Structure 1
């Protein structure tokens, strides 16, 4: 075979590998179809990665990359704005006990910008001998004296070796730094299957030029062929193009053990979580092995949610409830399973402060999400279950007070879409005895798409409720709650499309039935009062 034939063969194999044809995936990811180049400190990329990489705590200037490796060492991520220039580096935020669990924060990023990255594992000995210790001590977030002393006991600014590579790391993606690294052959080649890309969020409150696309999926943690069919249907429906993922609880069946998360979440969404940041909320099947009061256990070990407020919103300083911003949209995650159920005063004090500030900031949309639904007649009957009653008593009034537009939940293994509600705090019969709790109803146009108009903002302007808990199984139920406009017992998940105008939201229930793209399509229009 001539050189041109060899190159073509390599490209074809790279495309097949990256697109998932080798593994049986239907969708072709297009972010890594050619070799990349990283700083040499990441030369041991892809060595024994068995979980991840997966993106956490995304924001307009930060992204946290997490993964687990079979070999111990210091985690490092090389990144840049081009796959051929992944020459900036960031290191583990802390020394994990086993040295095989890695969490690296990429800080100081540009908003709304695509970055390419590769995770790797290195050692203190390699960094000290290569001259990279100086870069870590001067440029790494969290590189305090104690950590530097532990990692580099004999390192100094005169360490021999790859001084040009160190300069490239310190210079980020600057041309001078890259050129210096290239002169000393300090860059490491990265195969197409071993690097990924992500896009940072717009600045909080900033407008967007394209629709913001959000994947909401609940009760997905089975890790079986049904879950795979839901994932594949969504990825193909969206063309692999969406901005963030909301995991609405029950991410690992049956009791939230480490190996169950590996099967039901990390292997199930391995390609997706490496490219799109995922934000989670705890469900009842995440709870048995984790303590939501002390914030310990597998759920808290495996997920890094932005309770520090650095992704937007008021800091909660808690791992099971938090908020964040994506440009003109404010998202709020509430623990409805334990802390909300047992009236944790800290949760309610934080939630009120966060929603009040979000309302004053005049976001185009405010979206809340948690696991249990306040209204459902699916596999869980909201008239009969105490946690649903508590939601209607405690959380729903606060959502309505601050004009939350949309509330997402799972738990019931079905899809349910409500009318616009206000003041519906009682059982389902209240909709008939007091019709005023339905503030606006859906109307179907000639194209068959249902449209709902929400007039005004703020207190008692009305809230829409979606249940999407059929990410891996369906479990029936009467599906006849009078507050619901649509109820379906099909496998699927939801795509939300927030349009740049700020006045339109498209809702797609994407099922896994062959030949049917969306089992439900509805449009919310917002108008001034």
Structure 2
């Protein structure tokens, strides 16, 4: 800070002190479609001010605090959804930070089709052998100039959990990059509670004062009334954030949420929240992994066993798509599994009991063997949940006595990295971004999930109208028609003009032969003649087929029925002067 001496008219001397540095942040919290909170810390008390606008050089709007403080939080409201805003941080008299990388994204609408980008960092609050720095820089290199919608922390966000440790282990590594332009949400880990059971009971830890979370359903979901657990919506995704270490009094004793799934307030809320959401995607974050053979052993550690046995059934029953986990300082990613609540030997003995037949592959969707995308629906039912342990964004290490867990498709030990996924409507693509050399990266695992795809539909089109057929999935497109051999296309949608009385089939599939849709298109209205000719000649008819007893017919030309032949129709109408010529022993049978 600087101190200035000011000489008044009568020679009196006074001093004024102006903050010169932001010591923490800025960081983005509580993002919704129309509002965001910006937090930061200054070296001395000041009245904080945020200026903002739609371009970095035109910050025409502003919000100021009401009082002087070192811990600043400004709520900016009245924003437009799905927009990028730039901002500066300062006081009522000066700007302390401004630039093209000071920006935030407002949440998109619930019906958005654009890609939502999410970065997840587990156990990031420590920097052994520069792993935290390397993982951070690798992710920044991966994302380039593409903004990240959400930055999700999976617990152990600082080792340990006091305020000075948060400053050194969390804020200083991230506040000049990810923190200033990615909306931040988090769950606590055991180290955020300093591994202290007393703090787990009273929740008197800096984590809860450092972060602002939507406890009153400000961003969707069911209000939790606490920062310990909460939920929010972002586009088509419902996020659920859980606390596995903190306790609440249940039946007279302190209990973690997995200890009583009937009476614990977190579990009561969890069931209500998952039952209430109508979002296409449901993704849960919590620190303790129910499946891991990395730095921790889910076969023997009581809290991990309890979560698998008590919490997993709830998540799977409500159709949760993915569970993000930390604590174990490696990367492990499962098949979409269900009902695997016992020991891992159960899965080894009979994997088919715990995964559906279509989920036996790697899910990498890269053209390699057995790599088709996983498929699910938007229904709230048990259909396979992917469990991802991504606890190596800072901490690193594993137990060499443990082998890979059999539910895992990919296990990467001593591999520092972050987990990234994007959601575009009904497709989710996920990647493990491992640092390769400092600032460089490698994608060492990936998988894709598609929802509500592989459809078979029958569509009836009124006479004289066209119909647009759209593939249910997002990928590449190869159209064909077994009833129209010359038809092909490579766009997601095609326009069909079905002849009256016709029935045609159109098929679209991806180039990897993993997903296809089948459309049967019926041209309604009477089938009519295109020319004079033989009844049994398909080219005579607008449907390019021989009529059946379900067809209404309009004869615009003279049609002959061969000798000794019986033909069928539902109803026949004739244009003036037109008649049907019946051969010897020929017969027209009308169903109507």
TM-score relative to the length of structure 2: 0.66
Q: Distance in 2 between matches of 1:76 and 1:445?
A: 48
The yes-or-no answer on 1:308 pairing with 2:253 is no
Cα distance, 1:74 vs structure 2: 2.2
Counterpart position of 1:484: 408
CA distance in 1, matches of 2:331, 2:64: 42
Unaligned ranges ≥5, structure 1: 1-43, 127-187
Matched residue SS, 2:135:
helix
Match of 2:126 among 222, 227, 230: 222
Tell me how far apart the structure 1 counterparts of residues 47 and 111 of structure 2 sit (CA, whole Å).
36
Q: Residue 57 of structure 2 corresponds to which residue in structure 1?
A: 84
Report deviation, 1:516: 4.9
Q: Does 366-375 or 491-500 show the bigger shift?
A: 491-500
TM superposition shift of 1:75? 2.0
Structure having the higher helix fraction is 1
Q: SS of the counterpart of 2:124?
A: coil
Which residue matches 1:493?
418
Q: 2:330 aligns with which of 414, 429, 432?
A: 414
In the TM superposition, residue 318 of structure 1 has moved relative to its aligned partner by 0.5
Counting only pairs closer than 5 Å after superposition, residues 36-435 of structure 1 correspond to structure 2 as 47-92=20-65, 99-122=69-92, 193=99, 196-203=102-109, 205-209=110-114, 211-223=115-127, 225-241=130-146, 242-253=148-159, 255-270=160-175, 271-288=177-194, 291-339=199-247, 340-343=257-260, 345-358=264-277, 361=278, 363-435=279-351
For 1:491 and 1:291, the matched residues in 2 are separated by 29
Which stretch shifts more, 508-517 or 226-235?
Answer: 508-517
Partner of residue 164, structure 1: none
Q: Distance in 1 between matches of 2:205 and 2:139?
A: 30
> 4+ residue runs of structure 1 moved beyond 3 angstroms?
188-195, 289-295, 341-344, 443-452
Aligned equivalents of 1:374, 1:56: Cα separation in 2: 29
Quickly say closer, same or farther: Cα 1:76–1:464, change in 2 above 3 A: same
Greater shift in the superposed pair: 305-314 or 75-84: 75-84
Secondary structure at 1:351 match in 2: helix
d(CA) in 2 for partners of 1:283 and 1:258? Answer: 15
Q: Distance in 1 between matches of 2:341 and 2:393?
A: 28
SS in structure 1 of the partner of residue 73 of structure 2: strand
Q: Bigger shift: 373-382 or 105-114?
A: 105-114
Q: Shift of the alpha carbon at 1:341?
A: 4.3
Q: How far apart, CA to CA, are the structure 1 residues paired with 2:127 and 2:32?
A: 28
The Cα offsets for residues 194-253 of structure 1, whole Å up to 9 and x where unpaired, read as 9711110113x22232x2111011011114621010001011111142210110000111
CA distance in structure 1 between the partners assigned to 2:407 and 2:155 by the alignment: 23
Shift of 1:257: 1.3
- After superposition, the C-alpha distances for 1:24-52 in whole angstroms (9 at most, x for unaligned) are xxxxxxxxxxxxxxxxxxxx997321000
Give the 3-state SS of the residue equivalent to 1:518 in structure 2.
strand
- 3-state SS, counterpart of residue 436 of structure 2: coil
**Structure 1 residue matching 2:429: 3-state secondary structure:** strand
Instruction: Pick the aligned partner of 1:472 from 394, 418, 423.
Output: 394
Between the aligned partners of 1:375 and 1:190, the Cα distance in structure 2 is 46
Structure-1 separation of matches of 2:382 and 2:32: 30
Q: Which stretches in structure 2 are left out of the alignment for 5+ residues?
A: 1-16, 248-256, 456-592
Rate the CA distance shift 1:117–1:353 in 2: closer, same or farther, 3 A.
same
Q: Separation in 1 of the partners of 2:366 and 2:325?
A: 30
Aligned match of 1:507 in 423, 430, 434?
Answer: 430
Distance 1:194 1:266, change over 3 A: farther
Give the count of matched residue pairs: 411
Change over 3 Å in CA distance of 1:445–1:116 after alignment to 2 = closer
Render the CA deviation track for 1:382-401: whole Å, top value 9, x for unaligned: 01111111211222111111
Within 2, Cα distance between the matches of 1:474 and 1:348?
Answer: 31
For residues 99-123 of structure 1, the C-alpha deviation after alignment (integer angstroms, 9 at most, x for no partner) is 200111112211101111112234x
Provide the secondary structure at the position in 2 that maps to 1:291.
helix
Is the Cα–Cα contact under 8 Å of residues 21 and 42 in structure 2 kept in the other structure?
A: yes
SS at match of 1:237: helix
3-state SS of 2:173 partner = coil
Change (3 A) 1:51 1:446: closer
Alpha carbons 2:228, 2:243 under 8 Å: kept: yes
Cα distance, 1:455 vs structure 2 = 3.2
SS in 1 for 2:82: coil
Q: What is the CA distance between 1:463 and its match in structure 2?
A: 0.7
Contact 1:45 1:121 in 2 (8 A): no
The equivalent residue for 2:539 is: none
CA 1:451–1:285: 2 relative to 1, 3 Å? farther
How many Å apart are 1:448 and its aligned residue? 3.6
Could you say which residue in structure 2 is the equivalent of 1:184? none
Give the alignment's Cα RMSD to 1 decimal: 2.4
The higher radius of gyration belongs to: 2
Q: Is the 8 A contact 2:21 2:96 kept in 1?
A: no
Q: Are the equivalent residues in 2 in contact too, given 1:46–1:120 (CA < 8 A)? A: no
Which protein is richer in strand relative to its size? 2
Distance 1:374 1:474 in 2: 19
Structure 2 SS opposite 1:70? strand
Separation (CA, whole Å) in 2 of partners of 1:232 and 1:391: 33
- Tell me if the contact between 1:379 and 1:475 (Cα under 8 Å) persists in the aligned partners: yes
Task: Give TM-score scaled by structure 1 length.
Answer: 0.73
Of the two structures, which has the highest relative contact order with CA contacts closer than 8 Å and spacing of 6 or more?
A: 1
